[in-house]
Chain A
């Protein structure tokens, strides 16, 4: 490995918070520096700025839960993030679909559908919610606590392409079905 490659790979690991502590004297100096923290904070600020504009509902929900900045940092560290707003947003939203919380997964999937439709997706998107999505969005917008999951019912939402803008949603009772 050339000195240039070693230095660039080392700097990437430091900015991404990855890998073992460096042995190289220069990289050790960078690792201890205030400058590294500043560079990293700028990189994370831009990712957060992008995500707040591209994925507004997910960002607001996560901010309300106090998890947004940490999840943005976790995603940035663990993934090769795209310089393009659409791609970094899709990557982040797909990554969130592994979240345990059903509400986070559902809101992320909704935001992802809107991003994909803005990018020209031509297929309708079907989503299933365990609580009234209208109430969820109203709570997110107002900063209120989102509603809890509703027992024995589902909300089936269809986002119609080309969009975004046309959304249908029906409530289904599992008791009625069963």
Chain B
């Protein structure tokens, strides 16, 4: 395993990151000059040979080409840390491959599940905010923190299905996990806006209750509204309201280290390279001290 990453950040304020999922060298060259960190989603740069999945070497080589200029963080989708029957070992194998190749500043995963009884659900389920779920997630966070020598962060996800019964409030559920495990937290400003739109989440009350000390990273993204639902598809630029919320979160987060503009690879043709670069400059300016 590679050691802790050297930090390329030299500017004041939190470092700036962007997603990059491969196969667009021109985009990588542009964003590498604008960001301090590249967010790598191991699942998104993996391919299967029909027997097992592996990280694509050509994409790893792309990252290597900018490794002198930027740091890396890993942000997973497929660990499925909340599955009742165990997490996804295949994801950890991909993560191991990434750690073997690069020194990662930290790695993170969604506080959610993508598999049930070993079957991929085709979407992401949030967890009921129960003590049973807290116990299950905490045990796995403890384990993963022992496995890797860099910080581990969890990100809350949007609650699209009706809210299940549970003892904890949305922020209280997260607090229970971060307090017990000491793990870090990603607060996604756009996810909060989705929950406010879809579920009536009171964002101010959420932030008032949330323990902000574990917050190491903020995510920013743009999405779409469809059939009355606000969807976290990471398909656009960051709305002014999302950016303002991100700034509000940053002002309360004493240990914030990174602000990440996320966009799906599939959305790059829709957004465009120039707009992505302009967005990164806009986010950088917004979070400058």
> Which residues of A approach B to under 8 Å, CB–CB?
2-5, 7-9, 11-12, 15-16, 26, 29-30, 33-36, 38-39, 42-44, 46-47, 49, 76, 80-87, 90, 116, 119-120
Residue from A7, A38, A82, A90 within 8 A of B120 (CB atoms): A82
Residue from A12, A30, A46 within 8 A of B119 (CB atoms): A12
Total A-B contacts with CB atoms under 8 angstroms apart: 100
B46 within 8 A of A: yes
Q: Is the CB of A82 within 8 A of B48?
A: yes
The CA of A7 and the CA of B281, in the complex, are separated in Å by: 44
Given contacts A43-B123, A80-B120, A83-B114, contact A7 B128 (CB under 8 A): yes
B253 within 8 A of A: no
Q: Is the CB of B48 within 8 A of A119?
A: yes
* Chain A to chain B contacts (Cβ below 8 Å), 25 pairs: A3-B130, A4-B130, A5-B84, A5-B85, A8-B83, A9-B116, A26-B164, A30-B161, A38-B226, A38-B227, A42-B231, A43-B121, A44-B122, A47-B122, A80-B118, A80-B120, A81-B122, A84-B47, A86-B48, A86-B50, A90-B50, A116-B50, A119-B47, A119-B48, A119-B50
Chain A residue contacts of B113, Cβ below 8 A: 8
B145 within 8 A of A: no
Chain A residue contacts of B127, Cβ below 8 A: 4
Chain B residue contacts of A39, Cβ below 8 A: 123, 160-161
The CA of A132 and the CA of B166, in the complex, are separated in Å by: 61
Given contacts A35-B162, A84-B53, A119-B50, contact A3 B117 (CB under 8 A): no
Q: Is the CB of B132 within 8 A of A86?
A: no
B49 within 8 A of A: yes
Q: Closest Cβ of chain B: how far from A109's Cβ, in Å?
A: 16
Q: Is the CB of B50 within 8 A of A87?
A: yes
Residue from B132, B227, B229, B231 within 8 A of A4 (CB atoms): B132
Chain B residue contacts of A15, Cβ below 8 A: 121-123
The CA of A84 and the CA of B46, in the complex, are separated in Å by: 8
Chain A residue contacts of B84, Cβ below 8 A: 2, 4-5, 8
1/0 per residue, CB under 8 A from A, across B124-136: the answer is: 0101101011001
Chain B residue contacts of A33, Cβ below 8 A: 161-162
Q: Is the CB of A12 within 8 A of B161?
A: no
Q: Is the CB of A87 within 8 A of B48?
A: yes
B200 within 8 A of A: no
The total of chain B residues at the interface (CB under 8 A) is: 40
Instruction: Output the nearest chain A residue to B199 by Cβ-Cβ distance.
Output: A35
Instruction: Output the nearest chain A residue to B161 by Cβ-Cβ distance.
Output: A35
Chain B residue contacts of A9, Cβ below 8 A: 116-117
The CA of A51 and the CA of B206, in the complex, are separated in Å by: 39
B68 within 8 A of A: no
Q: Is the CB of A3 within 8 A of B132?
A: yes
The CA of A76 and the CA of B165, in the complex, are separated in Å by: 28
Q: Is the CB of B125 within 8 A of A11?
A: yes
Chain A residue contacts of B46, Cβ below 8 A: 84
Within 8 A of A (CB), among B22-56: 43, 46-50, 53
Chain B residue contacts of A5, Cβ below 8 A: 84-85
The CA of A90 and the CA of B51, in the complex, are separated in Å by: 12
Chain B residue contacts of A44, Cβ below 8 A: 122
Instruction: Output the nearest chain B residue to A83 by Cβ-Cβ distance.
Output: B120
Q: Closest Cβ of chain A: how far from B160's Cβ, in Å?
A: 6
Task: Give me the 10 closest cross-chain CB pairs, A-B, nearest first.
Answer: A43-B122, A84-B48, A5-B84, A12-B116, A80-B119, A43-B123, A8-B116, A4-B84, A86-B48, A87-B48
Q: Closest Cβ of chain B: how far from A139's Cβ, in Å?
A: 28
Q: Closest Cβ of chain A: how far from B101's Cβ, in Å?
A: 20
Q: Closest Cβ of chain A: how far from B89's Cβ, in Å?
A: 14
Instruction: Output the nearest chain A residue to B227 by Cβ-Cβ distance.
Output: A38
Chain A residue contacts of B130, Cβ below 8 A: 3-4
The CA of A15 and the CA of B133, in the complex, are separated in Å by: 21
Q: Closest Cβ of chain B: how far from A131's Cβ, in Å?
A: 29
B14 within 8 A of A: no
The CA of A11 and the CA of B122, in the complex, are separated in Å by: 12
Q: Closest Cβ of chain B: how far from A90's Cβ, in Å?
A: 6
